[in-house]
Amino acid sequence: MSKARRIQIFDTTLRDGEQAPGFTMNAEEKMQMAQQLARLGVDTIEAGFAAASPGDFDSVREIGHAMNGPMITSLCRTHFEDIDASAEALKGSPNWGIHIVIASSPLHMKHKLMMEPDAVLESSVRAVERARGYCGQVEFSAEDATRSEPEFLVKLFTETVKAGATVINIPDTVGYTTPTEYYELIDRIMNDVPGADQITVSVHCHNDLGMAVANSLAALRAGASQVECTINGIGERAGNASLEEIVMALKTRSKLFNLETGVQTEHLYQTSRLLTQITGMSVQSNKAIVGANAFAHEAGIHQDGVLKNPLTYEIMTPESVGIKSNKMVLGKHSGRHALADRLRELGYEVGGTELNRIFKEFKRLADLKKTVYDEDIEALVSQESAGQEGRYVLRSVNVSSGTHSTPTATVEMEVDGEIKRKACFGDGPVDAAMITIKEITGSRCSLTQYMVNAITGGTDALGEVTVSIEDGDKTATGRGADLDIVVASAKAFVSALNRLALRKARIQSL
- The residue ranges that bind Zn ion (CB under 5 A) are 16
CB of 69 to ligand KIV, least distance (A): 23
Rounded to the nearest whole angstrom, what is the least distance from the CB of residue 114 to ligand KIV in the complex? 19
- Smallest gap, in angstroms, from Cβ of residue 155 to ligand KIV? 19
Closer CB to Zn ion, 128 or 203, in the complex: 203
Helix (H) or strand (E) holding 400: strand 392-402
Q: Where are the beta strands (DSSP E) in 222-296?
A: 226-229, 259-260
Cα separation, 433 vs 426, whole angstroms: 8
Q: Report the residue number whose CB is nearest to Zn ion.
A: 16
101, interface contact from Zn ion, ligand KIV, none, CB < 5-8 Å by kind: ligand KIV
The two beta strands, 71-76 and 44-48, are parallel
Q: How far is the CB of 205 from Zn ion (least distance, A)?
A: 8
Shortest approach of Zn ion to residue 169 CB, angstroms? 10
When the beta carbons of 76 and 399 are compared against ligand KIV, the nearer one is 76
Of residues 30 and 204, the one with the C-beta less far from ligand KIV: 204
Q: How far is the CB of 151 from ligand KIV (least distance, A)?
A: 20
Q: Which residue, 242 or 277, has its beta carbon nearer to ligand KIV?
A: 242
**Rg of the chain over all Cα atoms, to the nearest angstrom:** 25
If one counts every other C-beta atom within 10 angstroms of the C-beta of residue 446, the result is: 10
- To ligand KIV, the closest distance from the beta carbon of 145 in angstroms equals 8
From the list ligand KIV, Zn ion, none, which binds 499 (C-beta under 5 to 8 Å, kind-based)? none
Residue 414 sits at φ, ψ, to 5 deg, of -105, 125
* Residue 276 binds which of ligand KIV, Zn ion, none (CB < 5-8 A, kind-dependent): none
Task: Choose among Zn ion, ligand KIV, none what residue 141 binds, the Cβ cut-off being 5 to 8 Å by kind.
Answer: ligand KIV
Distance CA 280, CA 238 (A): 17
Residue whose CB is less far from Zn ion, 205 or 409: 205
374's contact among Zn ion, ligand KIV, none, with CB below 5 to 8 A by partner kind, is none
Q: Which is nearer to Zn ion, 100 or 411 (CB)?
A: 100
Contact 237, 208 (CB under 8 A): yes
Q: Do residues 174 and 144 lie in contact, with contact meaning Cβ atoms separated by under 8 Å?
A: yes
Q: What SS3 string covers 77-118?
A: CCCHHHHHHHHHHHCCCCCEEEEEEEECCHHHHHHHHCCCHH
- Please, are residues 40 and 262 in contact by the beta-carbon 8 Å criterion? no
SS3 23: coil
Whose Cβ is closer to Zn ion: residue 10's or residue 152's?
10
Question: CB of 146: closest distance to Zn ion in angstroms?
Answer: 12
Closest CB to ligand KIV among 239 and 463? 239
Rounded to the nearest whole angstrom, what is the least distance from the CB of residue 143 to ligand KIV in the complex? 4
Strand partners, 76: 100
Nearer to ligand KIV by Cβ, of 175 and 347: the residue is 175
Q: By C-beta, is 48 or 171 nearer to ligand KIV?
A: 171
49 near 63, Cβ under 8 Å? Answer: no
With a CB cutoff of 8 Å and minimum separation 6, the contacts of 148 are 104, 105, 106, 142
Cβ-in-10-Å burial (0-12, 13-18, 19+) of 422 comes to middle
Cα distances (angstroms) measured from residue 204 to each of 136, 297, 331: 22, 33, 45
Contacting residues toward ligand KIV, per CB under 6 A: 16, 75, 101, 141, 143, 169, 171, 173, 204, 206
Residue 116 CB coordination number (10 Å): 11
Q: Min. distance of Cβ 364 from ligand KIV in angstroms?
A: 44
Q: Please, where are the H alpha helices in 421-470?
A: 429-441
